[in-house]
Chain A
Amino acid sequence: MSSETGKILTTDGIPLEESLKQAEKKNKIKAFLLVAPLLLFLIITYMIPIGDMFSRSIDDKMVTNMLPKTYKAMENWDGKELPPEEVFEAFYLDYKILVKNKTAGKLQTQLNYEKNGFKSVLKKLARKQKKFEEGNYKEQIMKVHKRWRNVEYWRAIKRRAPSYTYSKYLKGVDMYSNEDGKIVQVSEDRRIHRILWIRTVEVAFFVTLFCFLMAYPIAHLLATLPMKYSNLLMICVLLPFWTSLLVRTASWMILLQQQGIVNDFFVWTGLVADDNRPEMMYNKTGTYVAMTQILLPFMVLPLYSVMKTISPSLMRAGKSLGATPAVAFFKVYFPLTIPGIGAGCLLVFILAIGYYITPALVGGASGTLISNQIAYHMKSTLDWSFASAMGLMLLTGVLAIYWIYNKLVGVDNIKLG
């Protein structure tokens, strides 16, 4: 009996510890049930589709599915010499079905990516294969075009055998795997993607820098002014923040056009001649100016919320201990604002690196960024697997930045306004 007295019992005779555990469990389930609808919704409509982008980006089943017999026959072919008769026969049978179903065009395009000049060879085969006789397909196919005697073309087909590929990722950084399976760079005049990546990072970096340089003084002013003035000035920050992105882009298009107000002003001050107005839109200048103004509030708000908490007496204490205002600022004030700087820079950089609308409207050809390329492949070329691959590369970059930031500064609650 005495051993029982150690445990405290509830009124229904259950040990308190157990009863508490049950209640905790109930609370846990209750809390989870509240989160569950949104969590499930996001997982189904958002997380899984992002994962889906990955499978789409490495998916290469199109050719594999079009030539099932060929690839089965090719399993035993070592790729050194011309394939045996059975491969030719299998290819003839596969191709016949494709021509009949009018889907041969897709195969022609796909194989032409792999080996230039494949399209015409295949087109010729499509015309001639109707007259083929049964048996000895190797001879008959080789007679259609001399390139069928070139083992390179058969190797090109074999290279497409796996149903997944990382070629889209290589393409994203201007590389490809050549006929020998080695990874090489594309010729110099076709390296467009690397330029875009560099430009995207460059624009994001400089926009972040400009935003920081402009936001720091005004955030400081807003945090130190008496309430009645700072509230009024805060509107200057919040109104652009709440205004439609397209409206702000439109206003920059009006300001920066050749007959626009900024150019008028330059002409009026005599900086430029009236007949020699500089082009400020449809290039990088336009992208920089418009993006800086549009993203500036995202830098000001976190800086402001951090500066607001810094007591002015700290600076006074520094000065009273003999520091000049400059020293007091850099030794006392500035280090205290670093969390705000971190949050603002992270926010602006991540927003800038994925920017799409403004560069597309004011960027012209030399101001477009990687997002524009993704949208282009989604909407125009319909190369969705390439768009997915580029999107995931961008996402990896963003997550890496986020991770580094978390290591360096620590992700606090993101504050809004």
Chain B
Amino acid sequence: MALPKYTEPHYRIWHYFYLLICGCVFFFLIAPLFVIFPLSFNAEEFLVFSDGMKRLDPDAFSLRWYKDMIYGTKNPWGLAARNSFIIAIFATLGSIILGTLAALGLSSRHMPYKGLIMAILISPMIVPLIISGVAIFFFMAKVGLAATHLGIILAHIILGTPFVVITVTATLSGFDHSITRAASSLGSNPYNTFMKITLPLILPGVISGGLFAFVTSFDEVVVVLFLAGLDNTTIPIQMWTGLREQLSPTILAVATCLIILSVLILLTAELLRRRSERLRGINR
């Protein structure tokens, strides 16, 4: 963004002012995340930087909250993590299967009532979560699935499918249907055509939709708050309880782990996006 030499001084000043504003906004966006890292290594149980930490005294730092997170007595994090992963994995699988099938149908030009059906399929994304939570809770309570893993998984499939539908539909928008016809004309049955031709091409879209679904489920707290019983506690629920009652550094240790997880997910999503763009570029 170097300015040309002929720029007049007051535009130059305006330009640097603009860069300064941008810098401040980026700082505002990213800085809060970095407060958590150092404080999670605090040797004391206060959530402020101790004098020792400010002097970078090694004694002021410790891993005690990470130990507490893993080995702590009566600690809820092990169970919560297991539940969170089980629920998120099954919810993602369900979302991927239902969402991909629906996206394939929706992108067919023979599909009747496309607009209406699309509106229904992505409605869980538009309706405020609290309302979805209330409605889903009523349903699960009626069929006796409240406070069960299955109930929460189904709820998260509802919330996760719109992402898969949207990403896969977007991938399919650049999809050349003549190649599936070519496959059929060469004697491939529809199942083989899907597995060998269509799926590999739309896979980036499917996986990035799946990532959205996974994160939605893994991070979801509003609906789970209504649905979960004592046995179905998840990481977000434990964090919610912890944040409401008292902020302990153990929560920060968990938060640090979650940030690392989100960095990994971000990297995967970015790689997939680029791959998908490259693949679609070839198709055109």
Which positions in A face B, CB cutoff 8 Å?
24, 27-28, 30-39, 41-50, 52-53, 56, 214-215, 217-218, 221, 224-225, 233, 235-240, 242-255, 257, 259-261, 293, 296-297, 325, 350-351, 353-354, 356-357, 360-361, 371, 374-375, 378-379, 384, 387-388, 391-392, 394-395, 398, 402, 413-417
Chain A nearest CB from B171 CB (Å) reads 12
Asked if B158 CB lies within 8 Å of chain A CBs, one says: yes
Q: Are B243 and A250 in contact (CB under 8 A)?
A: yes
Q: Are A378 and B262 in contact (CB under 8 A)?
A: no
Chain A residues with CB under 8 Å of B110's CB are 24, 27-28, 30-31
User: CB within 8 Å of A: which of B1-49?
Assistant: 1, 11, 18-19, 21-22, 25-26, 28-30, 32-33, 35-36, 39, 47-49
Q: Are B131 and A394 in contact (CB under 8 A)?
A: yes
User: In whole angstroms, how far apart are the Cα atoms of A56 and B139 in the complex?
Assistant: 12
Chain A residues with CB under 8 Å of B219's CB are 244-246
Chain B nearest CB from A291 CB (Å) reads 13
Q: Are B212 and A34 in contact (CB under 8 A)?
A: no
A357 to chain B: closest residue by CB? B221
Chain A interface mostly: helix
Question: Which of A35, A244, A350, A402 sits near B111, CB closer than 8 Å?
Answer: A35
**A398-B126, A417-B273 given; A37·B26 CB < 8 A:** no
**A53-B135, A246-B219, A395-B127 given; A293·B266 CB < 8 A:** no
Q: Are A259 and B48 in contact (CB under 8 A)?
A: yes
**A38-B102, A413-B166 given; A239·B262 CB < 8 A:** yes
Chain B residues with CB under 8 Å of A248's CB are 32-33
Q: Are B108 and A30 in contact (CB under 8 A)?
A: yes
Chain B residues with CB under 8 Å of A244's CB are 218-219, 236, 239, 255, 258, 262
User: In whole angstroms, how far apart are the Cα atoms of A215 and B110 in the complex?
Assistant: 40
**A27-B110, A371-B130, A378-B137 given; A250·B36 CB < 8 A:** yes
Chain A nearest CB from B66 CB (Å) reads 16
Asked if B195 CB lies within 8 Å of chain A CBs, one says: no
| Interface residues as binary, B80-108 with A (CB distance below 8 Å gives 1, 0 otherwise) | 00000000000000000011011011101
Question: Which of B26, B98, B243, B269 sits near A38, CB closer than 8 Å?
Answer: B98
Chain A nearest CB from B136 CB (Å) reads 6
User: In whole angstroms, how far apart are the Cα atoms of A237 and B19 in the complex?
Assistant: 16
Q: Are B117 and A35 in contact (CB under 8 A)?
A: yes
B24 to chain A: closest residue by CB? A214
Which of A35, A224, A240, A379 has the most C-beta atoms of chain B within 10 angstroms of its own C-beta?
A35
Q: Are B120 and A387 in contact (CB under 8 A)?
A: no
**27 A–B contact pairs at CB < 8 A?**
A24-B110, A31-B108, A32-B111, A35-B111, A35-B117, A41-B158, A42-B121, A42-B158, A45-B139, A45-B158, A215-B25, A217-B21, A225-B1, A236-B29, A240-B33, A242-B215, A242-B265, A246-B236, A246-B255, A247-B259, A250-B255, A261-B35, A293-B28, A293-B32, A296-B29, A357-B221, A398-B126
Q: Are B265 and A39 in contact (CB under 8 A)?
A: no
Chain B residues with CB under 8 Å of A246's CB are 219, 221, 236, 239-240, 243, 255
Which positions in B face A, CB cutoff 8 Å?
1, 11, 18-19, 21-22, 25-26, 28-30, 32-33, 35-36, 39, 47-49, 98-99, 101-102, 104-106, 108, 110-112, 117, 120-139, 154-155, 157-158, 161, 163, 165-167, 169-170, 212, 215, 218-219, 221-222, 225-226, 236, 239-240, 243-244, 247, 251-252, 255, 258-259, 262-263, 265-266, 269-270, 273
Chain B residues with CB under 8 Å of A260's CB are 48
Chain B residues with CB under 8 Å of A249's CB are 243
Chain B nearest CB from A235 CB (Å) reads 7
B256 to chain A: closest residue by CB? A247
User: In whole angstroms, how far apart are the Cα atoms of A243 and B266 in the complex?
Assistant: 9
Q: Are B130 and A354 in contact (CB under 8 A)?
A: yes
Chain A nearest CB from B99 CB (Å) reads 7
**A42-B121, A45-B139 given; A394·B102 CB < 8 A:** no
Question: Which of B28, B129, B157, B243 sits near A361, CB closer than 8 Å?
Answer: B243
A346 to chain B: closest residue by CB? B126
A292 to chain B: closest residue by CB? B28
User: In whole angstroms, how far apart are the Cα atoms of A31 and B109 in the complex?
Assistant: 9
Question: Which of B18, B102, B133 sits near A39, CB closer than 8 Å?
Answer: B102
User: In whole angstroms, how far apart are the Cα atoms of A395 and B123 in the complex?
Assistant: 11
Q: Are A243 and B262 in contact (CB under 8 A)?
A: yes
Question: Which of A42, A53, A240, A247 sits near B258, CB closer than 8 Å?
Answer: A247
Q: Are B32 and A46 in contact (CB under 8 A)?
A: no
Q: Are A378 and B134 in contact (CB under 8 A)?
A: yes
Q: Are A254 and B36 in contact (CB under 8 A)?
A: yes
Q: Are A37 and B166 in contact (CB under 8 A)?
A: no
Chain A residues with CB under 8 Å of B137's CB are 378
Chain A residues with CB under 8 Å of B222's CB are 356-357, 375
Q: Are A253 and B170 in contact (CB under 8 A)?
A: no
B268 to chain A: closest residue by CB? A242
Chain B residues with CB under 8 Å of A388's CB are 134
Chain B residues with CB under 8 Å of A351's CB are 128
Q: Are A46 and B130 in contact (CB under 8 A)?
A: no
Q: A244-B255, A360-B244 are in contact. List 13 more A-B contacts (CB 8 A).
A: A32-B105, A45-B139, A217-B25, A238-B270, A240-B33, A242-B266, A243-B262, A296-B28, A350-B128, A354-B128, A356-B222, A374-B131, A391-B134
